[in-house]
A and B are shown apart, each in its own frame.
Chain A
Amino acid sequence: MIEFLTIPGVILIVGAFLLPFLPEKIRSSVFLLFPLASLYVVITTANGYSFGIDFAAYQLQLIEVDRLSRVFGIIFSITAFVAGIYAHHIKDLGQQVNALVYAGSALGVTFAGDLLTLIVFWELMAVSSTWLIWARRTKESDGAGMRYLIYHVLGGGILLGGIIWHYADTGSLAVETIAQNYTFANVLMLVGVCINAAVIPLHTWLADAYPKATITGAVFMSAFTTKSAVYVLIRVFPGWELLIWFGAAMAIYGVVYAVICKDIREILAYHIISQVGFMVCGIGIGTEMALNGATAHAYSHILYKSLLFMGTGAVLYATGTSKIVELGGLFKKMPYTFGLYMVGALSISGIPLFNGYISKSMTISAAGYAHVEAAQLMLLLASVGTFLSVGLKLPWFTWFHKDESDIEVKKLPVNMYIAMSIAAFACIFYGLFPNALYVYLPFDTDYDPFTIYHFVETMQISAMTLAGFWLMKKKLAGELIIALDVDWFYRKAAPATRLVFVNWVDNFFDRVEERVIGTARFLTEKFKNPMTWLNPFTDRSNKADGYSPAMDVVMSFVMLTFIIISILYFL
């Protein structure tokens, strides 16, 4: 039994079961112990360790540790810990329990040695994270949470369908690399995973739900769902060429929408899509360097994106709004939040000495070495957009732009500052010492990001992005709007969908029911007393329910014959 506790995901889920029994005062503090425990287990478990059980006719590998799963396990545990500190002031038991289950199931996916274990944790992740949206308890979050849940249940179903088909084809449930081959089974699995990775056009759940999640919930969500899907893509679908172009396209798609968006958390949500695009592109390239780059970028991304969500969450917490048009001039009131946010912003923009630089340059270089130059230029274009929105537009319109904000600013809990500081420290630490991350990457590497070429490339691009922003910043402000996205098809189409799949089906069943009952009524009326129409010599208006001796005799004979035949048959 004790082996179950060597599974990092299980540690967190057991923790979630224990939390409700603890007094409210110590609950948020005890919360932090479980990610620490799982971090300890992840680091100390040797490569190649595995533990399985027999379930029905299957051998389930609940945990399998190798370099790839370890690096994801480390960052998932760290983020759960940091986000736990950020949420330390929260008393809502539902959020705490679900955050732990959510982090635990993301870890479960990471270490799953077979596809059945993986799909169980996969679905658990969808259900528990939905709670973090609903916990905001607004009308918008209710709707968004439901759409999110339906989307992920659909994605999970597609993935499960693919897994079953894959098992039927190959007889293997192992989570292992599948060579590029677009069979039905593989495509179903790929689409299921791509839904969680928010690959366009399957990304709308993310931009819809994340800005509406709770302040602390969004920090957890920014880390787990998409990155666990990236992990599965790295493990199962490396080198699938289609991913190069979908990745590069979503990198650009995200930044363009981020320019349109006027809500600071929505901007960040679209930038998750964009950043995951870098990783997906790297996975599509599929060389060792590209897979290292995708892994490193996932690691860095989790750190700086959680920091960014913490920073904007702090603004939302303090001011009560996340609309660009209502913010501005907050610098004097929230200088520390600004400083910490900027660490994340410079990291995501890939500025040297911050952690985005060490992973983004690796991914882009991998595209260069593989001579996929079109993809390389697309990713560079996306980097421009990243710096433009997250590094310039968002902070400018939040902390500067106006002289002084007249918004009443609520004091932030200390734990928020602590959490942001830890994440900011990590961003700078890895930016200065990239090898601290590189040694954990799935393949050995001697990559050095600190070359003059990369420095010149990054700094020229960033400087001129700043110039572009500065000249055109007036174009970037504006009222909060809804930017239509692919979700239009299912949100606006809801009435039509209801008409086709609910009303029409209902009508059809109604009609059929009517016909069936009508026929039954007709037949019973006619056959209750067949004498009325069998015997032409009787009175036509023979009462149907009246007693008829002749009929009685006939029926008795029928009955007797039936009984005799039955007895003969059974003898």
Chain B
Amino acid sequence: MNWNKFVWTVIGIILAVTLVLEFTYLAGYDSHWWNKIPAFYAIYGFLCCIAIIYFAKFLSKNIVKRDIHYYD
């Protein structure tokens, strides 16, 4: 199975559908400051994902990582 193609297709379809909805149905929606930013949730989701991974890696490498027998 070609995972690469599958994953990017799924992402593409979801983004296309939600962006269309955002610019049509939700065009006038204004409840939070971030509603003015186009595709905010997509950007926020991606940045958060990257941030979590890097932050966790940083924590793991520098502070909390120990050998599995550390407490024995």
Query: Which A residues form the contact surface with B (CB < 8 A)?
Result: 255-257, 259-260, 368, 373, 376-377, 380-381, 384-385, 388, 400, 452-453, 455-457, 459-470, 472, 475-476, 479-485, 491-492
Contacts and interface: CB of A to CB of B under 8 A. Distances in A.
A464 B45 contact: yes
Contact of B7 (A259, A466, A485): A466
Contacts of B33: 373
B18 A463 contact: yes
B49 A459 contact: no
Contacts, number: 135
A192 to B, nearest CB: 27
Contacts of B15: 460, 463-464
A384 B49 contact: yes
B49 A455 contact: no
A33 B43 CA distance: 50
B57 to A, nearest CB: 6
B68 A468 contact: no
A463 B41 CA distance: 10
Interface of B: 3-4, 7-8, 10-11, 14-15, 17-19, 21-22, 25-26, 29, 31-33, 39, 41-46, 48-53, 55-57, 59-60, 63-68, 70-71
Contacts of A459: 14, 17-18
The 5 closest A-B pairs by CB, nearest first: A468-B49, A461-B45, A259-B56, A464-B45, A464-B46
A455 B18 contact: yes
Contacts of A377: 44
> Dominant SS at the B interface?
helix
A457 B60 CA distance: 30
B53 A462 contact: no
Most chain B beta carbons < 10 A, residue from A255, A380, A460: A460
Contact of A468 (B17, B32, B53, B57): B53
10 contacts: A256-B55, A384-B49, A388-B53, A456-B41, A460-B19, A461-B45, A479-B68, A482-B66, A483-B60, A483-B64
Contact of B48 (A260, A384, A485): A384
Contacts of B55: 256
